A and B are shown apart, each in its own frame.
Chain A
Amino acid sequence: MAQVTIDFFELLKKGGNLLQYRLNNSIKKNLNQFSLIDFTGSKTNPLVNRMNHIQKFTEQMTNYMNLPTKTDIANTTQLIIQSEEKIDQLDDQLYDVSIMLNEIKQILLTQNSGITESYSNSLPVRIAEQEEIIRTLQEELNQAKELIFQQKKHTLSTNTASDQAM
């Protein structure tokens, strides 16, 4: 006669999952009601008003205490982010210029007729110098961005620390 082994934990899992499924269906059905939607709608405005009062009160209090608010810190951080964006734009422009220089160099290497020999020889050197300057500039921009990034991190961590202390 074949022996059937019953795995208690498997049964528990299957039974539990079935119960979970039924519970969830019941909860979802009960949540999907107009009465609950109306209740939520009616509570939204008073909640917004209360939040408004608290925020105004905090703004006034921190003003008297000569402390920066969360919004002040956020606005400062926004300025830092804007600097980051400017650096990125500069970096993009430098990249475009370096691509353009490279293309000019290629054209000069293939079509150098009509240009005096000394000029034709000196141009690739000059372009190489410009490319080197661009590379240095890009590195400096990256360093500046890293510094800004660290500054932003510092500003935000100071803000978080003061939040926790309060």
Chain B
Amino acid sequence: MATNRITSFIKALNIDPDVGLSKRYAIWKKNKATLWYYPSKNKKYKEPIYLIYSIVNKPYILDLGPSMSLIEAFSLAGYDTYLIDFGIPGFEDRNMSMDDYITKYIHQGFKRAIRHSGEEEFTVIGFCLGGTLASIFAAFDNNHIKNLILAVSPIDFASFPDYDKWLDALKNQEIQIDEIIDKAGIVPPEAIKYGTRLIVAPVAYGHYLALLHNATKDKYIEKWSRMNKWTLDHIPVTGAAFKQIMNDWIRDNKIVEGGLTVYDELIDFNNIKSNLLVFSTMHDPLVPSSLCEPIMDLVSSEDKQFVLFEGGHAGLVAKNHMPEPMEIWLKEHSTEL
């Protein structure tokens, strides 16, 4: 019995699963980015969904595989879905800033999605840093965003309990990262991977023990191997974007304190009038809920709700259904056909 378990544990470590299996069509491409369209077989709602994912991971976490895909859940529930996939930046993209991501990719992709769908109103959903980008985008142009959902998206960087001294040093400019980033051009995926690990869990073997414990369950192994693949699959971040995250978002906390600009245009989060759902999870050392909740006070949306879920950073989206409060909220805020 124990031998079987260990054999299947070793086998599971060597699985390279296929991910992103939902039927999709590329409707626009630019540089490395692609706007994907996932049609719903039984479209029930007028407003399509526009997904924005983080720039440090690959977005296939939203479509890990059959029955563990949020995108599949959207399609089954009757929503047409679009995903702006930024692709993997290279050294040639070193000058691509957050302003570029917002105006040249998110905004342009959104226009293409409007053009493709023929719909005037959308639900925009942002995950992790993608949610931070989504909120800036919504403040930049709120015209066609009926609903805005931000999932585990950091907004307020005023405090970071585990590394408060590092944050203070960054705020006091005792640590300067600009020159080293300029020299490197891009932040390599390994730096992102180990940086994230330092924040979350410098020593991480718990997931292997969980796999060993569940090594006799095929379903568990399937999900584990997909999730593990994604966890190790970081992408580089362009130097200009990284500097903006570190200097404008974290050091100067401009999203909350004010002064954030996109191509010199001041971003006022008060411009966000869309219906807003913000959700965060209880056990997320990477983006604790204290980093997400302050967006509630920045926007002028009349219909806004903050929900705290049980769970971790990514587990929420790797299921065969939407989180229940999100499903109900989305249904209530979409127009049935």
Interface residues of A (CB under 8 A from B): 7, 9-10, 12-13, 16-17, 20, 23-24, 27-28, 31-34, 37-38, 40-41, 44-45, 47-48, 51-52, 55, 70, 73-75, 77-78, 81, 84-85, 88, 92, 95, 145, 149, 152, 156
Contacts of B203 on A, CB cut-off 8 Å? 20, 23-24, 27
B209, A32: Cβ atoms under 8 Å?
no
Mask, B71-97, CB within 8 Å of A = 1, is 000000000000000000011101000
A52, B183: Cβ atoms under 8 Å?
yes
* Docked complex Cα distance between A78 and B180 (Å): 22
A-B contact pairs, 11 of them (CB 8 A): A16-B205, A24-B202, A27-B202, A28-B162, A41-B174, A48-B179, A51-B184, A73-B92, A88-B30, A95-B115, A156-B90
B144 shortest CB reach to chain A, Å: 16
Contacts of A84 on B, CB cut-off 8 Å? 30-31
A20, B174: Cβ atoms under 8 Å?
no
A9, B213: Cβ atoms under 8 Å?
yes
Residue on A with the closest CB to B181? A48
B175, A40: Cβ atoms under 8 Å?
yes
Contacts of B202 on A, CB cut-off 8 Å? 23-24, 27-28, 31
Residue on B with the closest CB to A48? B179
Contacts of B198 on A, CB cut-off 8 Å? 31
Is B169 an interface residue when CB atoms closer than 8 A count as contact?
A: yes
A13, B165: Cβ atoms under 8 Å?
no
Contacts of A13 on B, CB cut-off 8 Å? 206, 209-210, 212-213
Contacts of A41 on B, CB cut-off 8 Å? 169, 174-176
B92, A17: Cβ atoms under 8 Å?
no
* Docked complex Cα distance between A84 and B29 (Å): 9
Query: Which of B5, B166, B209 lies in contact with A17, CB distance below 8 A?
Result: B209
Chain B interface SS verdict (over half): helix
Query: Which of B29, B91, B180 lies in contact with A51, CB distance below 8 A?
Result: B180
Task: Please count how many residues in chain B sit with their CB below 8 Å of the partner chain's CB atoms.
Answer: 38
Known: A24-B201, A24-B202, A44-B176. A78 touches B212 (CB 8 A): no
Q: How many A-B pairs with Cβ below 8 Å?
A: 97
Interface residues of B (CB under 8 A from A): 5, 29-31, 90-92, 94, 104, 108, 111, 115, 162-166, 169, 174-177, 179-180, 183-185, 198, 201-206, 209-210, 212-213
Known: A31-B163, A88-B30. A37 touches B174 (CB 8 A): yes
Residue on B with the closest CB to A51? B183
* Docked complex Cα distance between A9 and B90 (Å): 43
B213, A20: Cβ atoms under 8 Å?
no
* Docked complex Cα distance between A60 and B92 (Å): 20
B183, A55: Cβ atoms under 8 Å?
yes
A20, B165: Cβ atoms under 8 Å?
no
> Which of A24, A52, A85, A152 is most buried by chain B, counting CB atoms within 10 A of its CB?
A24
B166, A32: Cβ atoms under 8 Å?
yes
Contacts of A145 on B, CB cut-off 8 Å? 29
Query: Which of A20, A48, A51, A74 lies in contact with B201, CB distance below 8 A?
Result: A20
Residue on A with the closest CB to B197? A24
Known: A27-B202, A37-B169. A16 touches B209 (CB 8 A): yes
A76 shortest CB reach to chain B, Å: 8
Contacts of B204 on A, CB cut-off 8 Å? 20
Contacts of B213 on A, CB cut-off 8 Å? 7, 9-10, 12-13
Contacts of A17 on B, CB cut-off 8 Å? 206, 209
Contacts of A47 on B, CB cut-off 8 Å? 180
Contacts of A44 on B, CB cut-off 8 Å? 175-177, 179-180
* Docked complex Cα distance between A1 and B164 (Å): 54
Closest 7 CB pairs of A and B: A74-B92, A77-B92, A51-B183, A16-B209, A9-B213, A13-B209, A27-B202
B287 shortest CB reach to chain A, Å: 16
Contacts of A27 on B, CB cut-off 8 Å? 202-203
A12 shortest CB reach to chain B, Å: 6
Please give 5 more A-B residue pairs, beta carbons under 8 A apart, in addition to A28-B202, A34-B165: A17-B209, A20-B204, A37-B175, A41-B169, A85-B30
* Docked complex Cα distance between A85 and B28 (Å): 12
* Docked complex Cα distance between A33 and B179 (Å): 23
Contacts of A38 on B, CB cut-off 8 Å? 174
B212, A33: Cβ atoms under 8 Å?
no
* Docked complex Cα distance between A69 and B258 (Å): 40
B42 shortest CB reach to chain A, Å: 29
* Docked complex Cα distance between A75 and B91 (Å): 10
B164, A32: Cβ atoms under 8 Å?
yes
Residue on A with the closest CB to B9? A9
B108, A12: Cβ atoms under 8 Å?
no
